[in-house]
């Protein structure tokens, strides 16, 4: 006889197994979706994966595309591990890019060694403030963080739209109808790594992931974040100031998401434009969850989805399948992964009940 029983201990192999099964099921369901729109799933996946990992150029594009996803994924990890359901990453990416662009106007002319750290700090501060504001809305006014972060997402998006369409940062002239800023001068673009097409910012997600892993596993704050997620009552009895922990979590999470926005501005887009930023935050939620809310897993998931984003371009060109297949796939895979995360807490037992 086979029964299903709740696990007391977590088995990492079983957890990984359910996750891989969920990824496979998600791919299969995505293939069905491709078929519903009248396209050939095999052709779609072939061009998708070839465009993601099939050549040196493809791998570089994948690295560049995964950079912001890993960062917003890490932002998700920090918040969700504390069971704070912040989905403000999208708005924080926008805030990071806007604050980073503001930095370029104040710090213009500084030597690169001061300029780049300076504008990055500006950007990070933008997201940190936005995240912190939502944290205070939660701790001080009891406003649910999901709702407040959604609303601030819309506020950030509309603010950028205002700044770029007829507002103070709009490009005047031929580009005026595109809702974008003037391009950054070459001296203000992130330098490239040893003659490749990779900007220096692609290293940041890996550094950030290591920092997050160390912070979660080796520091008092990391312990408090995890305790906030698992047993906030006990944490309160221990004497920890829970409101302060929530604010710290949202600030760190907001700063990480904003880093994605500012790197995208200085490393890839080279001008402020909503099209370059849209969706990075929401995709980061999926990346963080598929990464099992662990920094290392998030790096792997980010590379996978960065690959899909890079492959989507060649898929559109070669097979004429819309690039928006990728966000659709991300959503489908997420639903399967959520179910798998529940399955991972159960085990299949043979034999009679003890």
**CA distance readout (Å), 318 to 36, 98, 185, 240, 262:** 19, 35, 34, 56, 32
Q: Is 350 in the site for other proteins (CB under 8 A)?
A: no
Cα–Cα distance between 130 and 311 in angstroms, integer? 33
Q: Is 148 in the site for other proteins (CB under 8 A)?
A: yes
Would you say 220 or 342 has its CB closer to other proteins?
342
Q: Is 344 in the site for other proteins (CB under 8 A)?
A: no
Cα–Cα distance between 18 and 216 in angstroms, integer? 24
Among 260, 301, 326, 344, binds other proteins (CB under 8 A): 326
**In residues, how long is the chain?**
354
Task: List the interface residues with other proteins, window 71-130 (CB under 8 A).
Answer: 85, 87
Q: Is 150 in the site for other proteins (CB under 8 A)?
A: yes
Q: Is 233 in the site for other proteins (CB under 8 A)?
A: no
Q: Tell me the window of 105-113, 114-122, 150-158, 212-220 that interacts with other proteins (CB under 8 A).
A: 150-158
Q: Is 317 in the site for other proteins (CB under 8 A)?
A: no
Q: Tell me the window of 16-24, 57-65, 98-106, 138-146 that interacts with other proteins (CB under 8 A).
A: 138-146
Tokens read off for 12: 């990492």
Q: Is 137 in the site for other proteins (CB under 8 A)?
A: yes
Would you say 37 or 210 has its CB closer to other proteins?
37
How many residues belong to the site for other proteins (CB under 8 A)?
50
Q: Is 28 in the site for other proteins (CB under 8 A)?
A: no
Among 78, 125, 313, 332, binds other proteins (CB under 8 A): 332
Among 42, 322, 348, 349, binds other proteins (CB under 8 A): 322
Q: Is 4 in the site for other proteins (CB under 8 A)?
A: no
Among 2, 10, 38, 195, binds other proteins (CB under 8 A): 38
Q: Is 240 in the site for other proteins (CB under 8 A)?
A: no
Among 285, 287, 303, 313, binds other proteins (CB under 8 A): 285
Query: Is the Cα dihedral 306, 308, 311, 317 positive or negative?
Result: negative
Q: Is 282 in the site for other proteins (CB under 8 A)?
A: yes
Contacts to other proteins by CB under 8 A: 6, 33, 36-39, 85, 87, 137, 141-144, 146-148, 150-152, 154-155, 158-159, 161-162, 165-167, 282, 285-286, 289, 320-322, 324-332, 334-335, 338-339, 341-342
């Amino acid at each position: 006889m086979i029964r299903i029983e709740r696990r007391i201990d977590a088995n990492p192999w079983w957890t990984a197994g359910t996750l891989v099964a969920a990824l496979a099921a998600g791919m299969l369901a995505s293939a069905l979706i491709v078929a519903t729109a009248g396209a050939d799933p095999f052709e779609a996946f072939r061009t998708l994966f070839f465009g993601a990992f099939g050549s040196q150029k493809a791998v570089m594009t994948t690295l560049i595309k995964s950079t912001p996803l890993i960062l917003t994924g890490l932002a998700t990890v920090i918040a969700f591990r504390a069971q704070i359901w912040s989905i403000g990453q999208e708005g924080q990416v926008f805030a990071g890019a806007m604050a980073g662009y503001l930095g370029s106007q104040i710090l213009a002319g500084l030597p690169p060694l001061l300029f780049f750290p300076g504008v990055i700090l500006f950007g990070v501060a933008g997201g940190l403030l936005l995240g912190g504001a939502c944290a205070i809305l939660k701790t001080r006014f009891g406003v649910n963080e999901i709702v407040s972060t959604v609303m601030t997402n819309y506020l950030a998006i509309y603010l950028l739209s205002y700044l770029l369409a007829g507002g103070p940062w709009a490009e005047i002239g031929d580009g005026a109808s595109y809702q974008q800023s003037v391009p950054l001068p070459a001296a203000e673009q992130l330098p490239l790594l040893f003659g490749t097409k990779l900007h220096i910012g692609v290293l940041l997600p890996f550094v950030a992931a290591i920092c997050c892993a160390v912070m979660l596993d080796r520091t008092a704050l990391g312990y408090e974040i995890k305790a906030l997620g698992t047993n906030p009552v006990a944490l309160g009895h221990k004497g920890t100031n829970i409101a302060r922990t929530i604010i710290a979590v949202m600030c760190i999470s907001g700063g990480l998401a904003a880093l994605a926005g500012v790197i995208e501005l200085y490393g890839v887009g080279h001008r402020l434009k909503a099209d370059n930023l849209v969706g990075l935050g929401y995709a980061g939620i999926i990346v963080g969850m598929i990464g099992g809310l662990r920094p290392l897993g998030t790096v792997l998931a980010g590379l996978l989805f960065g690959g899909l984003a890079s492959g989507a371009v060649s898929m559109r060109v070669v097979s004429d399948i819309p690039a928006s297949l990728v966000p659709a796939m991300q959503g489908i895979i997420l639903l399967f992964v959520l179910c798998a995360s529940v399955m991972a807490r159960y085990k299949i037992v043979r034999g009679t009940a003890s």
